[in-house]
Chains A and B, each alone.
Chain A
């Protein structure tokens, strides 16, 4: 009898716990970091959302504090960790992805928005300063040669997304996405209990190039249309080929999909610059990509995902 009563009490307390647990609703927030608009959407109790929003903002602020163009942090554990990740992709891409292109970004005026085309002489003076293999990594610091400068723009935003998404997941957020312009991480199901439907902008036309249906994955796009200036009808964009010192040629955009936003971010840049992108993506079997070439042709590489291309 006592056991039956105990079971009954347990059942009642279980029902009370369930009915008292706060109801979760979809919450969204928009903020500006990394010079772009960031969107956060998660399923959580409304009262807790402010906490989660603050958490994401504080992670993004920390990423900005360590990796922004004006910062020259070579000693923090965060910098050392991301350097190792970047160095692996540098090696795998045979130097196409290179965070030491800082002097090029500066010479072309992308760091302070004073856009200009440097002379050939200037570029040939800068090229010896480029190359991650010239950087010495010690236990507690990075040692750069004189006048070398790091540009974390092709990986730090993705890293921030990974950290932010991970921290929300650790707090028990089971469904949501964080979008930071060209980079995104989404997990769980969308509000329609399906995969997240992500529109990928067309690099030249109004509207979308494709729709991705993904979950528990990141996606990142690098394009020649995101930051550029034009002189005499010639477009100069911000993705530099570290081997030539000039903006990479031949592609309009590259979108990479895979389990980590930082790797997607860096691979998108590597594939954008590389002449043989299929060799790079084959080293990352969990990742897939689609490329829009300058002539408008599209190709898919690596792991396949649910991608619907749109007629434009």
Chain B
């Protein structure tokens, strides 16, 4: 199967696989797609080639879901000097799996910065042929994605003040200011300084709001539930909301 055929196959699968449809590769990252029921047999060769092309930096990986043969992959990659990272934030690349709804012929493709990259080098030729010879359709897709280098938690510029669910005002984080608010259950004071906002005084009983560290990152919130008071750093365009 040539690459064009492979992409056609992917497209056909995506029409019947809602999981795959929901997966939209970011242009910033490199993605390797490998269709094979035994990815552990091929993955280390492909990863080596990606490393040679500087498409992945470092050797730490994190399996970001449990639908594939993770333990086999861990075992094989460990032998080839790839390291399993216990913290996804410190991994250099993520390995995830998608079950295709229809089995297709095994193959692989690499997409970097939104472009298909030809990695059928001399070194990978035997692998490519082996995959093509293996005509048993496979229904497991393994996806290797390089971790985005950019850290999303970036500082916000404004903090919104809400009282009893109503938006009171929007304060810039780059201007030092202290504000006092009367609430239906007491009072609360906030200070904005050094590009961060914090509660400095509150009439509430447990003072959780005052003891909460200052907020400065887009989407961060500081809540005083007894006073029905909320400070929220204006959201990043990358995030719609925050839980936890």
Contacts of B19 in A (CB 8 A): 304
Tell me if B244 and A203 are in contact (CB < 8 A).
Answer: yes
The answer for the CA separation of A113 and B242 in the assembled complex, in Å, is 26
* CB contact between A32 and one of B67, B97, B220, B225 (< 8 Å): that residue: B225
Assess whether A13 is interfacial by the CB under 8 Å rule.
no
- The 8 A CB mask of B85-113 against A (1 = contact, 0 = none) is 01111110010111000000000000000
- The 8 A CB mask of A130-152 against B (1 = contact, 0 = none) is 00000000000000000000000
For residue A212, which residue of chain B has the nearest CB? B243
Determine, out of B5-13, B39-47, B58-66, B73-81, the stretch whose residues face the partner at the interface. Answer: B58-66
Tell me if B205 and A113 are in contact (CB < 8 A).
Answer: yes
Interface hub of B87, B219, B221, B240 (most chain A Cβ within 10 A):
B240
Closest 3 CB pairs of A and B: A304-B65, A207-B153, A201-B244
Binding site for A on B (CB under 8 A): 19, 22-24, 62-67, 86-91, 94, 96-98, 147-148, 151-153, 162, 164-165, 167, 205-206, 213, 217, 219-221, 223, 225, 228, 230, 238-244
Tell me if B225 and A198 are in contact (CB < 8 A).
Answer: no
Tell me if B89 and A309 are in contact (CB < 8 A).
Answer: yes
The answer for the CA separation of A35 and B63 in the assembled complex, in Å, is 36
Q: Is the interface of B mostly helix, strand, loop or mixed?
A: loop
Contacts of A197 in B (CB 8 A): 238-240
Contacts of A186 in B (CB 8 A): 240
**Least CB distance, A281 to chain B, in whole angstroms:** 9
Determine, out of A72-80, A84-92, A293-301, the stretch whose residues face the partner at the interface. Answer: A293-301
**Least CB distance, B132 to chain A, in whole angstroms:** 28
Assess whether A307 is interfacial by the CB under 8 Å rule.
yes
Q: Is the interface of A mostly helix, strand, loop or mixed?
A: strand
For residue B215, which residue of chain A has the nearest CB? A206
The answer for the CA separation of A305 and B205 in the assembled complex, in Å, is 40
Assess whether A83 is interfacial by the CB under 8 Å rule.
no
Assess whether A259 is interfacial by the CB under 8 Å rule.
no
Binding site for B on A (CB under 8 A): 29-32, 35-37, 39, 41, 113, 177, 179, 181-184, 186, 190-191, 194-203, 206-211, 213, 215, 219-221, 223, 226, 253, 255, 278, 288, 296-298, 300-312
The answer for the CA separation of A296 and B90 in the assembled complex, in Å, is 11
For residue B19, which residue of chain A has the nearest CB? A304
Contacts of A207 in B (CB 8 A): 151-153, 217, 220
* CB contact between A41 and one of B206, B241, B242 (< 8 Å): that residue: B241
Contacts of A301 in B (CB 8 A): 66
With A32-B225, A300-B65 already in contact, the answer to whether A37 and B230 are too (CB < 8 A) is yes
Tell me if A201 and B96 are in contact (CB < 8 A).
Answer: no
**Least CB distance, A154 to chain B, in whole angstroms:** 15
* CB contact between B63 and one of A196, A255, A300, A308 (< 8 Å): that residue: A300
* CB contact between B240 and one of A36, A183, A198 (< 8 Å): that residue: A198
The answer for the CA separation of A306 and B230 in the assembled complex, in Å, is 30
Contacts of A190 in B (CB 8 A): 240
Contacts of A32 in B (CB 8 A): 164-165, 225, 228
For residue B90, which residue of chain A has the nearest CB? A311
* CB contact between B165 and one of A31, A220, A278, A304 (< 8 Å): that residue: A31
The answer for the CA separation of A303 and B217 in the assembled complex, in Å, is 30
* CB contact between B153 and one of A30, A184, A206, A309 (< 8 Å): that residue: A206
Tell me if B244 and A309 are in contact (CB < 8 A).
Answer: no
* CB contact between B87 and one of A255, A298, A303 (< 8 Å): that residue: A298
**Least CB distance, B30 to chain A, in whole angstroms:** 15
**Least CB distance, B241 to chain A, in whole angstroms:** 5
Contacts of B23 in A (CB 8 A): 306
The answer for the CA separation of A278 and B71 in the assembled complex, in Å, is 15
With A207-B217, A255-B244, A309-B94 already in contact, the answer to whether A298 and B86 are too (CB < 8 A) is yes
The answer for the CA separation of A193 and B94 in the assembled complex, in Å, is 26
Tell me if A208 and B242 are in contact (CB < 8 A).
Answer: yes
